[in-house]
Amino acid sequence: MDKSGIFVGGAIGIISVIAVFGILFTIPSEVPKPEIAIGNENSLNKVGDSVTSTATLETTYSENLSLIEIFEKSEPGVVRVNVQRAESIEGVGGVGSGFVFDKKGHIITNAHVVDNARKVVVTFLDGRSYNANIIGSDDYTDIAVIKVDADLSDLQPLSIGDSSNLKVGEQIAAIGNPFGLSGSMTSGIVSQLGRLLPSSGAGYSIPDIIQTDAAINPGNSGGPLLNMRGEVVGINTAIQSATGEFTGVGFAVPSQTVAKIVPILINKGEYKHPWIGISGTDIEPDLAKVLKLADAVGFLVVTVIKDSPADKAGIVGSTKVMETETGRYAIGGDIILSVDGKEVRQIDDILIHLQRAKSVGDEMILEILRDGRTTNVTIILQERPNGN
């Protein structure tokens, strides 16, 4: 491994930074939703059990709060998550964070925080602790839902904001339990949006990730990333570091993903991801020159998995390799130029579009360049097969 890595956890893990293609994120339709509080503290929209599509994030904009006000408003809804692993001895385990989702006792945290847990204990601001059950977990977005049978006075749900409104440079705050230090708050800015982050599910990446310079350390995982109105806009998930300690680059799963995944985990216990079945590479300048393209944009399909949705739609992978003085290149495959009319400059554009807009069973229209001609190909998204 090189000197940098992505560190996750209450129990810290290291995974290499890879960009992997073939998993696409979405939400099945017609699934009942639990009640979700959306908006600011004084004007909450309720998404009730009758709603059958993804929770709509309709933030009522208000004046920004001070960091002191954000902490006082949010701290009661942030919890400490202690985990005993299946392989650990009594008293030894991981520590992470979480936050209250609803008055039914659902707590949101990271999947890697509760992975392989034989016992989960949630501790609230007033010091009261409760055993928690794992309701659902999704490794491919690193989101988990646990549930406690707690006193209503302890259950103070945080408002879910709309991460799509975030701007680079916007101030944000993180609350959690770094190194087990309960109720710690840090602040910073949104450093970038739309990052790809490797998931613990081998071979896939989480799209649309928020990058921040707010200090995130082991133990912060699962805690809320808040905008200056005190709304949750992300779940603190990982850091990039050579040592496992904060170095100025942290990552959070956006609230748009939370709003899609969490209701399904509560109702079904798992989240079914659609599948395309391709791998490839972004078009960079040297490859564009080899392919005789005017611009270095698009995504070159190198491999199409047999019987995948892409294969059934007739997408073509690379057929030969060309060696030049600048390198060795797979060529001959389809080049994806746009998805549903949205320009594709790199793989991130495909993944983010599917994360936000597509479901299993949906049609997806790809504009491709093949043999010097552009054409449209329609793919029917299917559920990813188990074990891939």
pLDDT digits (tens, 9 = 90+) for 191-213: 999 898 876 655 678 889 999 99
Span of 19-23, 233-237, 243-247 with lowest mean pLDDT: 19-23
Which 8-state DSSP code applies to residue 180? G
End-to-end CA distance of the chain: 24
**306-343: burial string, b at 16+ Cβ within 10 Å, e else:** eebbbbebebbbbeeeeeeeeeebbebbbbbbbbeeee
- pLDDT for 357 equals 86
Q: Which is higher by pLDDT, 141 or 384?
A: 141
The pLDDT of residue 19: 27
Residue 24: per-residue pLDDT: 29
Percent of the chain beyond pLDDT 70?
78
Catalytic: which of 221, 308, 318, 338?
221
Active site residue 221: yes
Structure confidence by residue, pLDDT tens digits, 321-370: 999 888 899 999 999 999 999 999 988 899 888 888 888 999 999 999 99
For 16, counting Cβ atoms within 10 Å of its Cβ (0-12 exposed, 13-18 middle, 19+ buried), the class is: exposed
Q: CA separation (Å) from 15 to 69, 185, 194, 202?
A: 36, 26, 19, 10
Over residues 372-387, mean pLDDT: 88
Annotated catalytic residue: which of 115, 138, 139, 142?
Answer: 142
DSSP state of 261: H
Are 57 and 259 in contact by the 8 Å Cβ rule? The answer is yes
- pLDDT at residue 27, rounded to an integer: 29
Q: Which of 245, 175, 200 has the alpha carbon at shortest distance from 110? A: 200
- Region 52-73: mean pLDDT is 69
From the number of C-beta atoms within 10 Å of its C-beta (0-12, 13-18, 19+), residue 85 rates as middle
The catalytic residue among 112, 208, 255, 348 is 112
Q: How far apart are CA 225 and CA 231, in angstroms?
A: 8
pLDDT the model gives residue 183: 85
Q: Given this model, what pLDDT does residue 56 score? A: 46
